[in-house]
Amino acid sequence: MSQLKNITGVEALIDSLLEEHIDTIFGYPGGQVLPIYDGLYKVSDRLTHVLARHEQGAVHAAQGYARATGKVGVCIATSGPGATNLITGITDAMIDSTPLVCITGQVPAGLLGSDAFQEADIISMTMPVTKWNFQVTSAAEIPTAIAKAFYIAKSGRPGPVLIDITKNAQVETTDFEYVPCTGIRSYIVKPPLNTDLTGLAVDMINRAERPLIVFGQGVKLSGAESLLIDFAEKGNIPMASTLMGLSCVPSDHPLYMGMLGMHGNVAPNVLTQEADVLIAIGMRFSDRVTGDLKTYAKQAKVIHIDIDPSEINKNVRVQVGIHADVSDALNEMIPGLVRAGREEWFAKFRQKFEEEYGSVIERDVEPTGEALTMGEVVRNIARRVDGRAVVVTDVGQQQMIAARYSYFRSTRSFITSGGLGTMGYGLPAAVGAKVGVPDRQVVLYTGDGGFQMTLQEMGTMMQYGIGVKIVVLNNEFLGMVRQWQQLFFGRRYSHTEMKNPDFVGIARAYGIPGRRVQTREELEAAIGEMFADDGAYLLEVAVEKEGNVFPMVPAGASISDLLFNE
């Protein structure tokens, strides 16, 4: 707890951030945050500010930083368009449970509601997409608001918080006392564990012949990765991950059966429909995982563990709903599990994997055609980094291919926009991830469409020497949209074909070396060249123009109704 007399609102803000042990902020200056930026100038030895090239870049970078480190990401923008440019990233963070504190400037309190220059009601706009937001109109409110913001952002189910600070509150003075927030009345961060329910769940699992664990990002957010593995090993239970849960469990763990979802692996998708007990851990049963809810796992008894009670019975009706922190629940349940053989059950997973390998994986990663495939590029890079890199993706075909064919050895190694599916997320998120974990290799997979939405963030990489490896998988299409047009709209490629610039030339203009690859013979040497360079690098790979991502569960279909080709 710190106490100071008669300091400005800006000084109170900066001291509050330092009290929260914040050392990195992503942002973009403007008129209504000039006092804050003047304050940041004076503490540059203690607070690093990373200048993005667009406010959306700043919020996505803060997301990448938070996802890679497990800390709260912080971003700052001015009022009006600066603040509204944060909204996409805030919404993305809300649905993906990413802890953020977003600070915006605002016109002086006396001008609120007058349509002053660059005034926008950012509080009303962000209310549906934040865990909490608050407008500060006096300097005295700042310490309490910041303490509460960080507590809310990182506790329970994490998410974004926005604090809007009027210009007068920044410059007027106040006595400063910082008291960290440790609780809010009626806000239950860690619900008490109902041991009757965990006991019932354990008994149900022990009696199961075909149990399946389906886990999501809640495992990471709880820090329960090792507990999840212990849980699966104790009961000898197969595990499958959602997109957001990837990297919680090492890819080569013998009980890990792959990824669920629209473009997930065959075995976990199909065998969800045969499981007699489904154990959902820190995941939300999104439509991309369940497909048609009318046919989803109707034969299974469902156990759902989640810290957010609104997720339990929201989409899928469950027999046992455990409202708890994942770590608490697993710690309680592990001792009671009894190991079972389940050889026939595991044999089914092996059989389905062989079917998928022969029908999809082989042609993706070991193609016989002349054109390069996204799968072989990702698989070659995965072998090179040996599962030790942080993989960041944009949204689209490259996202799904990277999820399918990357290897992971440690947690927090896969960062993507899951629920909102934000194109342009990849590059700034990779920048934030690299800032957060500078000693780890960060590899970005992006498409020619998503890359062009935020490629200006290469300027941030140039200014701060941020060594992200950028892999542009260029098929000269908005690939995922084109795939849907091919499969469901009679190949009417309406406004999805793209004429692209010289990506390597653009990267070089930002001081980033690069290379374009068009043939299989060039690929290995180009990958070697990329990783031989200690800094940033852009590798553009011309891949097959009409390549598709399979298997695929069509929207609204049962998860067992998979497409394997067009």
Which residues have a catalytic role annotated? 55, 117-118, 167, 480
Strand partners, 2: 178
Nearest Cα to Cα of residue 472 among 374, 326, 348: 374
Q: How far apart are CA 90 and CA 153, in angstroms?
A: 12
Q: How far apart are CA 487 and CA 489, in angstroms?
A: 6
Nearest Cα to Cα of residue 159 among 129, 190, 126: 129
Specify the DSSP class assigned to residue 439: T
Nearest Cα to Cα of residue 342 among 231, 214, 230, 255: 255
Q: For the chain, report the end-to-end CA distance as a whole number of angstroms.
A: 63
Is-contact 442 434, C-beta < 8 A?
yes
Is-contact 319 212, C-beta < 8 A?
no
Q: How far apart are CA 88 and CA 100, in angstroms?
A: 13
Is-contact 266 564, C-beta < 8 A?
no
Q: How far apart are CA 76 and CA 47, in angstroms?
A: 13
Q: Which residue has 């998928």 as its token pair?
A: 356
Largest Cα–Cα separation, the chain: 73
Q: What are phi and psi of 499, to 5 degrees?
A: -95, 115
CA angle 562, 565, 566 (to 5 degrees): 110
In 203-356 the beta strands, taken as DSSP E runs, fall at 211-215, 239-241, 256-259, 277-281, 301-306, 320-323
Is-contact 87 125, C-beta < 8 A?
yes
CA angle 427, 429, 435 (to 5 degrees): 105
